[in-house]
A and B are shown apart, each in its own frame.
Chain A
Amino acid sequence: MPSSPKKRRRTPRQVVRGVRRRARRAAGGVRRVWRRSLQLRVVTSTMVISIAVVAVLGVFLMQQIIATTLQDRERAARSEAQADRNAVLGYLNRPSGDVSKPSVDSGDGLQRGGDSPLSQAVYTLAGRAGAVPRYSVIARNDNQPGEFFVTPNIDPRSIPAGLREEVSKKEAGEDSTHYGDLYYEGRREPVRGMVIGTRLDTSGTMLDSGYEIYHLIPLDNEEETLNSVLRMLVAVGAALVLLLAAIASLVTRQVVTPVRLTRQAAERLAAGRLDERLKVRGEDDLARLATSFNDMAANLALKIHQLEELSHVQRQFVSDVSHELRTPLTTVRMAADLLYDAREDFDPMAARSAELMQNQLNRFESMLADLLEISRYDAGAAELDVDPVDVRDVVLRAVADSEALAERHSTRFDLRLPGEPCMAEMDSRRVERILRNLLFNAIEHGEGRDIVVSVGADRDAVAVAVRDHGVGLKPGEENMVFDRFWRADPSRARTIGGTGLGLAISREDAVLHGGWLQAWGAQGEGSQFRLSLPRVAGAPLRGSPLSLVPPEVEMRRTWRGHMTPVLAPAVADGGNDAD
């Protein structure tokens, strides 16, 4: 019992929700189209405005036509009614002897109608109204029994009581016009028509004043005409609105199409295709827009080319300088080695100088080597020597190389390696150099605390993360660390003789592999560098098996704020991944 109504209650709600969702989606779609299409907006507003104008004009015109048509008809009917009334008076005023002459003599013509003068008059009016009657006549005199005649098949209830009252109130001979339904015998539907009623003006005669004469004019022809005019007006109006919309659409298209082409060209230009140009047709504003666009693109391309040129010259210069410095350095080196080897024989001051010179020469040499290396990258001359290797071996070799330095800084390595081999295609020399650089860097900034090196792997990629617990990085420094000659605190000395180019070269190496080298750091939390590489050389990298933010930091954040457990790392992660 309780479950089924619950179900029933839920279903309509779901339906409503579904409908609402769909409607919202459709509305969203419409809104998007509306916002994006200038053409649609122009056409719509043109249609709305023209519909309003056409409607107002149409109503005005129709009223004018109706008024004119009915006025004409009424004027004609009134004059006809006046003439008929005169005829009726003529019949009624005839001396009674004349009226009932034997009808045999008068033949079959107009003289039908027989004994009553009013009846004869009505017969005459029936004849006047035409073979296909243009109007019907009702004549009556309530003061005299039997004096109530109509022609030919009009139903007397076509005259409303109100009109009779008005006619009897008005002066004799004055018209009262009424528009209403006319009923005919043998016709079910009433016909819209006009009734003109008058009391016969019998002043100056012997007749009594009770003669009422009504002319009933059917207006079905007029109604039909007006209806067809109305239909035509509506059709013409609709056609006009559609035409205007089509014109608006055409005109907007002429403007919008070049603008759209320009937009597409700008998009392609922005994507780096500097040779993109627009076709220029004519001399109008749009053509001038295209010309300006083309000029802009040309200038932009020229400037970019110049800049490229300049940067190439600079790189060449650095490379040349490094090469040129090498020869004198070798000579200096040999001399310094001699001095250094013979320092035992010098006085302490000179011996110390020889040592210093030796140290600085070493640094100078490695800096020169790094400069040469990096200028090779800049020249695009770096090449990969790819072999499948186990990342764990590479890590172990790099750690072994760094052991000595770590001991000097009383730092210990904490290795977290998976149990099974993590094979990947890579240039092991370069990867080893990356890891060495990362480890040196961690030792230098690790302030003697433990350094965690972890290796992760999944189906497509392998990753190595190096975590230190030093001062960490300030926000925004995650990318700057890879810049050439960048240092976190310019006042701090380089203790282990880093050249300032290590991380820059490492990043170039990682990029050469199609991998990522990313940094994370927070003040007081230390920092972590992660190298992610595809398992197969050249395959695109989609994600990393290790997270950029160390797991314990992430967990701590989750504890601290329940609200954003996933968001923060994801943002950091995503933001760096896109780099």
Chain B
Amino acid sequence: MSIIADTRPAETAPARAVDPRLKVTGRRVLRSEWAKLWSLRSTWITLGLGLLFLLAFGTIAAFRYKSMLNSGQPMDPDFADATTYTLALFGVPFSLIALGVLGVLTASGEYTTGMIRSTLAAVPRRLPVLWSKAAVYGVLAFVTAAAGALIGFLISNGVLSGTAISMSLSDGGVLRGLLGVGVYLGLVGVIGVALGTLLRSTAGGISALVGAFMLVPLLMSLLPKSWRTDITPYLPSNAGESIYSLHHAAGTLSSGAGLLVLLGWTALALGGAAYRLIRSDA
């Protein structure tokens, strides 16, 4: 019989135990992205602009409508079909640019300044950074736009009270539509974050954003008519407008379908951003 002696030295204690409280978690990365967003002046300025555009342009449109109505002159054709709702949301495209640009900046700014090296050294798995940025900023853009649309509607409605087109918040679909503005611009914010991460450049990201939401719709008129009617409703801008429009004309998507299409575009942009983030050296 043999005795097997364990001659290995006792396991030496690790030089230093890892502090179990220090650990990267999803919630902590969210917290970090939240802090990053609010510690830059550009966030306050651009969010303020996004809100201001919604409030100011809607109010101006309402006053303009009312003055034309009171003057007794024939109504400007641009305003012929106007409702309180459409006048109040006159500023949406402008707010879209402000909120989209800020989305691009939160991501591209990391690359142009070199901050991304610190960020990815802290979170080397990388993807949580993208998800957190998109979530934090998407929610913020949603809240800003929804609040702007709601307050803008109330102001415009005050201006137009007593006119034939006066509406109320309780009118069918109004409240849901105003929330829809928030959803639309929230998703635009997420697309902005994705474009900034994908292109790693502020100029590139903003160009892509403006191209997708402003220029591509204009190019549609170059297409043969049959194609145009098939494609146009599925563009990000048209799908987005479908989300909050109260009257769905023929050839436009319903609110639900518009939301699904825009979600599809958002997922595509995020997918591209995730791929680049994982595959490319920082």
Our verdict on whether A and B bind, yes or no, reads no
